[in-house]
Amino acid sequence: MSTLQRTDPEMAAIIADERTRQVETLELIASENYASAAVLEATGSVFTNKYAEGYPGKRYYAGNQHSDRVESLAIERAQRLFGAEHVNVQPTSGAEANMAAYFATIQPGDTVMGLSLDQGGHLTHGSPVNFSGRLYRFIPYTVDRESETLDMAAIRALARESRPKLIVAGYTAYPRRIDFAAFADIARQNGALLMADMSHIAGLVAGGQHASPVPVSDLVTTTTHKTLRGPRGGMILCKAELAEAVDKAVFPGTQGGPHLHSIAGKAVAFGEALEPAFVDYARQIVENAAALAEALMEGGLRLVSGGTDNHLILADCNSVGISGLKAQNALQGAGVITNKNTIPYDTRSPFVGSGLRLGTPALTSRGMGPAEMRRVASWIVRVLKDPDGEGVRESVREEVAAFARSFPVPGITDVAIAMS
């Protein structure tokens, strides 16, 4: 029996249920993944006990000799992984990283350009209900109505007209490659700084499957838990001249004590991403997304922009006559976990949405390939074509659970969890 089972059986049971759910369902949420057993171990370590306000060598409390080693190792590995001049590994999330990046570079009221949330941006890219939209004057850019891809000429014209101090490039529901070099040129020509938010594609960048924003951006923010497969958390990479401003904006500007246990997990994940095998993993994510996209289109689903170049797919559920919400819920009933999403120029509310976002990082972490993606697509199409059919849902759920159980889950079924 584990310590938790003995001391808090109620919580132990909830965690066991979640572990079973993660093993028996197919995880297709594009921003989720399975951290390795090593990442989980470091994240659950005794560093959860330590306060370490400040930075390596300059802490406000005593007893930080090992904290300094943890944070320095994370920084050094992140610098090597992404070729960054300076890295701050303390942001506790992507939103915190973005807040600190803004605090380091712009003032309240300044003009910023970002893709709006309903077109595939992020809350912290200027949504009116978020601090970003409340503090700064965000001018949203959009994707082209026909191609549903970023129109760099239109973005260039908008920058010329609106003269932003900062341009944000990086998205949560954009299935195509991002031309960071073109964004950098637009920023330079218009006297703006470029901030890339590579949260979704950080693992693809690390694995050489997407052009890196690091060399051409003034600063880059990211989460560490999506394609990068680390613990929940954020990070900022920047040019040397922004180092001091970024560090001050993180601490004491927006955060207190760093989460050293998460930073330990980040260091382990960066170490894993530095291994040659991570290139194969990143390549497999992209190949799997392409295979899934093709099979979904053959099954009659329209995909936003007509396909994918990265780890994610945005399906237009209008093509099968239902909303994104209905699709998400029907698939959940069949053990296929996705999320509803708006599509560009959506006419439905964000809570309902016309889109369904699907990603391959988590299934790829379980060792699946294109053949498995085609099976997954056939289950998705079966359910979406009969979303009210309980019989279909039931039989797909049984097939999915048996199929899912036959693929190991990193950090769950590849380790002996102390259960007895």
Minimum distance, C-beta of residue 341 to ligand DSN, in the bound complex (Å): 9
The answer to whether 194 and 209 are in contact (CB under 8 A) is no
Minimum distance, C-beta of residue 225 to ligand DSN, in the bound complex (Å): 10
CA 280 to centroid of chain Cα atoms? 19
**Could you confirm whether 280 is annotated as catalytic?**
no
Instruction: Examine residue 105 and tell whether it contacts ligand DSN (CB under 6 A).
Output: no
Q: What is the Cα–Cα distance from 115 to 167, expressed in whole angstroms?
A: 10
Minimum distance, C-beta of residue 220 to ligand DSN, in the bound complex (Å): 16
Q: Cβ closer to ligand DSN: 172 or 328?
A: 172
**Count of H-run helices and E-run strands, the chain:** 16, 15
Count other C-beta atoms under 10 Å from residue 141's C-beta.
24
Q: What is the Cα–Cα distance from 229 to 275, expressed in whole angstroms?
A: 13
Minimum distance, C-beta of residue 122 to ligand DSN, in the bound complex (Å): 6
Q: Which of 24, 32, 41, 51 is catalytic?
A: 51
**Could you confirm whether 51 is annotated as catalytic?**
yes
Instruction: Examine residue 43 and tell whether it contacts ligand DSN (CB under 6 A).
Output: no
Q: Cβ closer to ligand DSN: 94 or 175?
A: 94
Q: Cβ closer to ligand DSN: 64 or 364?
A: 364
Please identify which residue in the block is written with the tokens 């979303």. Answer: 387
**Could you confirm whether 232 is annotated as catalytic?**
yes
Q: Which of 27, 96, 148, 197 is catalytic?
A: 197
Q: Cβ closer to ligand DSN: 67 or 364?
A: 364
**Could you confirm whether 226 is annotated as catalytic?**
yes
Q: Cβ closer to ligand DSN: 94 or 164?
A: 94
Query: Contact with ligand DSN (CB under 6 A): which of 22, 132, 172, 354?
Result: 172
**Could you confirm whether 241 is annotated as catalytic?**
no
Contacts of 71 (CB under 8 A, 6+ apart): 52, 55, 56, 89, 90, 258, 260, 263
**Could you confirm whether 414 is annotated as catalytic?**
no
Nearest to 100 by CA among 233, 250, 251: 250
Strand partners, 168: 195
What SS3 state is found at 124? helix
Q: Cβ closer to ligand DSN: 54 or 170?
A: 170
Instruction: Examine residue 31 and tell whether it contacts ligand DSN (CB under 6 A).
Output: yes
Inter-CA distances, 187 with 125, 166, 216, 240, 410, Å: 16, 8, 10, 18, 41
Strands 219-223 and 234-238: antiparallel
Nearest to 341 by CA among 375, 309, 317: 317
Instruction: Examine residue 94 and tell whether it contacts ligand DSN (CB under 6 A).
Output: yes
Q: Which of 32, 53, 85, 110 is catalytic?
A: 53
Under rule CB under 6 A, which residues in 112-151 are in contact with ligand DSN? 122
Q: Which of 19, 156, 177, 232 is catalytic?
A: 232
Known catalytic residues are 51, 53, 197, 223, 226, 232
- Chain residues in the site for ligand DSN (CB under 6 A): 31, 94, 122, 172
